[in-house]
Amino acid sequence: LKARGNVEDWLCKVEEAMFASLRRLCKKSIKDYETTSFLSWVMANASQVVLTICQMMWTRDVTNILRDTRSSIRAMRDFE
């Protein structure tokens, strides 16, 4: 991106490019999360992406545990 024209317009384009870049990195990181060792995965990705994907996966796992009401207490203990 080149800084031309109104700064407000230029900064909006920078922000859009940042969102697109993070979205692309997150999509790739989600695919790699299940197939790569955790340490390798962490070292290969930006910290912002790692934190975001870890929070998403934690939420997914806890939601799945809580959906199974038969053994949710035991499953939560195992998850810890």
Does residue 41 sit within a domain? yes
- At 69, is the pLDDT very low, low, confident or very high (cuts 50, 70, 90)? low
**Number of Cα atoms under 13 Å in the Cβ half of residue 79:** 16
Does residue 2 sit within a domain? no
Burial grade of 45 (CB within 10 A; 0-12, 13-18, 19 or more): buried
Distance CA 42, CA 40 (A): 5
Does residue 1 sit within a domain? no
- Whole domain around residue 52: which residue ranges? 7-79
The whole-model pTM stands at: 0.73
- Own/partner pairs, 49-52, CB within 8 angstroms, 24+ separation: 49/22, 49/25, 52/26
Q: How does pLDDT run across 25-67, given as a tens digit for each residue? A: 999 999 999 899 999 999 999 999 999 999 999 999 888 888 8
DSSP 8-state symbol, 31: H
Total domains, the chain: 1
Does residue 49 sit within a domain? yes
